[in-house]
Structure 1
Amino acid sequence: MWICASVAAVEGLVVASVFMASAMLYHFILLQTAFQYFAAPLYIAFSLLIGLIYAGFSAVAASRFLDGQRRRDTTLPFSFFSWTIAFAAMLMIAFLAGVVGDLSRVSLTSAFLVGVPVVVVMRSLVQSVLSQQISQGELRFQKIALIGERELVLDFLLQSDLWRHGHELTNTLYLEDAMRDGAVAAENVAAFARAALQQGVRYIVITGDIAHINDLDGLISDLKRFSLNVVYAPAIQKNRIEFLDVVPIGPNRTLRVLRKPLSDGAVLLKRALDIIGAGLGLLALAPLLMITAALIRLDSPGPVIFRQMRRGFNGQPFSIMKFRTMTVTESGFAMTQATRDDARITRIGRFLRATSVDELPQLFNVLRGDMSLVGPRPHAISHDDELSAQLAQYAHRQRIKPGITGWAQVNGYRGETATMAQMQGRTDYDLYYIDNYSPFLDLWIILLTIVSPKTRRNAF
């Protein structure tokens, strides 16, 4: 697709320029190297190489973006990791070619560090432009054709706003007009398909009453001779259900309406990363944990570790561990949510909450399997029951293990949920994370948890 190729070319050229510019600035400005002593052909070759490798990742990201993943949130970490992988691949090739020693380590390091914000900003800018053009109907990159009864086709078009999603309708075949002797004429279907192919149609959409789906067998058979994607859109006026894909159950083909957020392989990978991350974290943070425990003991009477019942994976309750930051230790079955300037927060507790150090004992929850490093934040059981009653989608967060940090938290939805807008915002971000989970996204969230000021914006 020309859009993917254009995006790949632009992003590849930019990263190649970053690599080359870093080398030239270092050699010509800092070292004041004479041009004849500058390995220009070598740097140009590896600039083009890293640009080409990154362009490949860029084309894949653009294709995914155009195929329906039009939110920018999760593609930004992919740009960071794509840049890292492209850079590592370039270094590996230089090593195998025996010329890695001819490349300046300072220029390589500066090129990588400068490239990180460049690729993230560039990806964000490209996708912002594409999103705006798509939503305004200025960019229609996918041509489709429609088949169905006149009334159902019109309903589909009225409900879909195809032009706001990058689609362009080229052909329409009304079944009433294609009938002959009580059946859809094969020659009419063939003529329609040929006309669609000539106009560059990628998908033919058949819409109809799902109760009559078996009646479409002949129509679909007539389309099999053509190299086209044919999809079926059930005409459902009320309580519309999203059909995700088709799953074979025995000899039957069933329509999936819900999917487990994580495959079995993803569950194993996420658990392995949790164990490694939590284990290394506890080892590295052991001095901080001991100092914090001592300060809590000296600051106010009460236990160092505070346990509270929270609702976790699949709605199962578990006991969460935190450093005590308040003068009370509520069970979780009945509690009052902390507010800004809450008098119950201790002196050391205010600092621990602002810096999230109070959450570190949850690394033990991760090792125990109650939690993950990244996931929706769990709430106390009484609070969870209250939010579930007020917000229909809230309980959907429990389809994945709760986390020490999460996508909602790094986007500023942390702390008190006093308004419906705060509840809805946190829930939306958590559900988006569940639907778009990847190991790369987890690593990106952990990175943002450490460096992003949004993570601590509502901490109190």
Structure 2
Amino acid sequence: MALLHEDPRAGATSNAPRWNVPLKGNVLLQSFPLLEAMSVVLLSIVSGKVYDLVSFGHFGEYGRNFGLGVVVAALFSTSAYARGLYLSSEPRSLASQIKEVVLIWTAVFLCLSVVALTLKVGDMFSRQAVMLFFVTGLGGIIFVRLGAGRLFASLTRSDMLAKPQVVIVTQSDVRVPSGVVQAIEASGCDVCQTITLPAASSEGSLLECMDKLIEHVRRRSVDEIVLAVSWADISLIEKITAHLCVVPVPVRLLPDHVVSALLTRPVVNLGGTRAIELQRAPLTTPQLLTKRLFDLVLTTAALPFLLPPLAVVAGLIALESGRPVLFCQRRAGFNGRTFKIYKFRTMTILEDGPVVPQACRGDPRVTRVGRILRRFSIDEIPQLWNVLKGDMSLIGPRPHALAHDSEYSQIISLYPARHKVKPGITGWAQINGCRGATPHVYMMIKRVEHDMWYVNNWSVWLDVKILLLTIPRIWTGRNAF
């Protein structure tokens, strides 16, 4: 006989008169992206009207502002969906959502600014009007998310929404993965029943169990069935699926302890079949081209503004310690190939041999100007020339001296894998606090772990995020000297 464990809360709710509105919480969540996109378009029009009224004393045409709003809403919604801000399987805090919203919203406007400059259509829009839209649109999205979150939480607490009902079917010798029930309930669903199959199910007992499950699904308006059985028992899975084909609800199979580790890996197409990717290859050709275009556009746009202050820095170095102003050193780049990196000289010596001592706090080799340059990483800016040459990228694992590469490659197995992508001026490790000297091996291990996470999870949006977080991290960091 099947063992049935019914949630007493679900039973009490189902026997009582149902005054819930006939609307599932998921319906509200699915309609939220449309509401947010409409808010963006409306704020674009309102911002344009307000600007025209203040600047010219009358309302202008709304066509351009409407078009801009549609483009921004489409880009933002697509990016937000890709980042898991809609219908995420994992509940996210409001602070985390706001952080993602600010990054995506800023990135959208930066991309549109680059496109407008490239196509020379920037004169079609007033800068003041666009900035007003940037501020009001960002504030509007945060307000909508805050209001929607509170409204949904209030409706859920007041039982005005009918929560989706979920039934879990498992085996007596199979442990339901920890946190599954909590994750289901956190997503706004109720686990109304858990059915445990006997250890050795005969055709008769399985048929009896399935009949009871089907009756329960029809009587209680169950919305979803989740199977937590061993993937090795393919016959049982096929039989359960065949029995449940008569009910119009989704049936989902949870991974067992063997498969769950594999499902964290990407699934790729391999000819006419699909395969689990156990190791991610280096970036594909389109990804390499995208990353290279990203580097070239931002570097060429920044250089005209950086050249005057860089000339001042070069003059200060020359006045204090003479020439050369730049320091060149051999480092390992993409696929382990050696290149010469350029930095502002910050020390009284130029080391590029088999032994290169790392700088430490109060290091007498560091000059007075060099100490300021190293504190705020200004000495790294000449590496923009390495980016233009193609030796480096704006974002990537920081390259180390060849002497350090040789040392750490022997004691950290994953260290050489950092060279799967081009080294960068800044990276995921740096914005997470792994910056400066590494006097202890565990500090380099932590840096390598961050670098490998970046290599395995690269995306354009991740590069944008790292770039936006680099300046505040440099300003507040204390590990560089």
Tell me if both proteins adopt one fold, taking TM over 0.5 as the criterion: yes
Tell me the residue number matched to 1:454: 473
Contact 1:146/1:205 (CA < 8 Å) preserved in 2? yes
CA separation of 1:88 and 1:359: change in aligned 2, threshold 3 A: closer
Whole-angstrom CA distance in 2 between matches of 1:178 and 1:52: 59
Aligned length: 431
Give the match for residue 223 of structure 2: 200
Distance in structure 2 (CA, Å) of the matches to 1:358 and 1:269: 27
C-alpha distance 253-339 of structure 1, shift in aligned 2 (>3 A): same
Q: How does 1:306-345 map to 2 (within 5 A)?
A: 306-314=327-335, 318-331=339-352, 333-345=354-366
1:3 aligns with 2:29: yes
Matched, 1:181 2:203: yes
Change (3 A) 1:193 1:366: farther
| CA contact 1:142–1:166 (8 Å) conserved in 2 | no
8 Å contact 1:309–1:317 — kept in the other structure?
yes
**Residue of structure 2 equivalent to 1:255:** 276
> What is the 5 A alignment of 1:233-248?
233-236=255-258, 240-248=261-269
| Identical-residue share of aligned pairs (%) | 29
Measured in 2, the distance between the counterparts of 1:265 and 1:177 equals 51
The residue that corresponds to 2:287 in the other structure is: 266
2:40–2:141 CA contact under 8 A, matched in 1: no
1-side partners of 2:114 and 2:293: how far apart?
24
1:377 Cα deviation after fit: 2.0
Residue 200 of structure 1 aligns to which amino acid in structure 2?
A: D
How far apart are residue 305 of structure 1 and its match?
3.3
Q: 1:152 aligns with which of 174, 182, 190?
A: 174
TM-score by length of structure 2 reads 0.66
1:78 correspondence with 2:101: no
Please identify, of 358-367 and 408-417, the stretch whose mean Cα deviation from structure 2 is larger.
408-417
List runs of 5+ in structure 1 lacking aligned partners: 90-94
Q: Distance in 1 between matches of 2:109 and 2:296?
A: 27
Q: Does 1:346 align with 2:367?
A: yes
SS in 2 for 1:308: strand
Residue of structure 1 equivalent to 2:321: 300
Contact 2:47 2:129 in 1 (8 A): no
- Note if contact 2:356-2:403 (Cα within 8 Å) is conserved in structure 1: yes
Query: 1:323-376, CA deviations, whole angstroms, 9 ceiling, x for partnerless residues?
Result: 221123333753332234432212332343344332233233334433211123
Report the CA distance between 1:265 and its aligned residue. Answer: 1.5
SS in 1 for 2:173: helix
Superposed CA deviations along residues 60-79 of structure 1, whole A, max 9, x for unmatched, are 52572343585656554222
Displacement, 1:400?
2.8
Paired residue secondary structure (2:343): strand
Matches within 5 A, 1:43-442: 60=78, 61=80, 64-65=84-85, 66-68=87-89, 76-82=102-108, 105=126, 108-115=129-136, 118=139, 145-154=167-176, 156-157=177-178, 161-163=182-184, 166=187, 168=189, 169-176=191-198, 179-181=201-203, 185=207, 188=210, 192=214, 195=217, 198-201=221-224, 204-208=226-230, 210-213=231-234, 216-220=237-241, 228=250, 230-236=252-258, 240-249=261-270, 253-260=274-281, 262-278=283-299, 285=306, 292-293=313-314, 295-300=316-321, 303-314=324-335, 318-331=339-352, 333-383=354-404, 397-410=418-431, 413-417=434-438, 430=451, 433-442=454-463
Cα distance in 1 between the residues matched to 2:413 and 2:146: 34
Once the two structures are TM-superposed, the CA of residue 157 in structure 1 deviates from its matched residue by 3.7
- State the secondary structure of the residue aligned to 1:345: coil
- Report the Cα offset of residue 50 of structure 1: 6.4
Residue 254 of structure 1 aligns to a residue in which SS?
strand
Conserved? CA contact 1:374–1:405, under 8 Å: yes
Any stretches of 5+ residues in structure 2 without a counterpart? 1-25, 116-120
CA contact (8 A) 2:39 2:140 kept: no
Map 1:15-54 onto structure 2 (within 5 A).
Answer: 16-17=42-43, 20=46, 23-24=49-50, 27=53, 33=57, 37-38=58-59
1:286 deviates by 5.3
Kindly state the Cα deviation for residue 233 of structure 1 after the two structures are TM-superposed: 0.5
Partner Cα separation in structure 1 for residue 75 and residue 193 of structure 2: 34
The CA deviation at 1:403 is 1.0
Alpha-carbon separation, structure 2, partners of 1:425 and 1:246 = 28
CA contact (8 A) 1:190 1:223 kept: no
CA distance in 2, matches of 1:436, 1:265: 16
Bigger mean CA deviation after superposition, 319-328 or 14-23: 14-23
Measured in 2, the distance between the counterparts of 1:193 and 1:319 equals 73
Contact 2:330 2:339 in 1 (8 A): yes
Higher relative contact order, structure no. (Cα contacts within 8 Å, ≥ 6 residues apart): 2
Which position in structure 2 is the counterpart of 1:92?
Answer: none
Judged with a 3 Å threshold, the aligned counterparts in structure 2 of structure 1 residues 289 and 48 are, in CA distance, closer, same or farther, namely closer
2-structure distance, mates of 1:128, 1:390: 49
- When the two chains are superposed, the root-mean-square deviation of aligned CA atoms in Å is 5.2
Quick check: 1:74–1:436 contact (8 Å CA) kept in 2?
no
Supply the distance in 1 between the matched residues of 2:162 and 2:448 (Cα, whole angstroms). Answer: 32
Could you list the per-position Cα deviations for residues 163-205 of structure 1 after superposition, in whole angstroms to 9, with x for gaps in the alignment? Answer: 586374455444438944389549928955992994332x744
The amino acid across from 1:5 in the alignment is: S
**CA–CA distance in structure 1, aligned partners of residues 307 and 363 of structure 2:** 29
The answer on whether the counterparts of 1:186 and 1:222 sit within 8 Å (CA) in structure 2 is no
Q: Is the 8 A contact 2:295 2:387 kept in 1?
A: yes
Name the CA shift for 1:167/1:146 in 2 (closer, same or farther; >3 Å). farther
Aligned mates of 2:409, 2:147 — CA distance in 1: 38
- Tell me the CA shift for residue 301 of structure 1: 5.4
SS at the partner of 2:295? helix
Partner of 2:23: none
Once residues 284 and 163 of structure 2 are traced to their aligned partners in structure 1, the CA distance between those partners, rounded to angstroms, is: 31
After TM superposition, give the deviation of residue 108 of structure 1 in Å. Answer: 1.7
CA 1:144–1:362 in structure 2 vs 1: closer, same or farther (change >3 Å)? farther
Q: CA deviation at 1:271?
A: 2.2
Using a 3 Å threshold, how does the CA distance of structure 1 residues 454 and 88 change in structure 2: closer, same or farther?
closer
1:23–1:107 Cα contact (<8 Å) kept: no
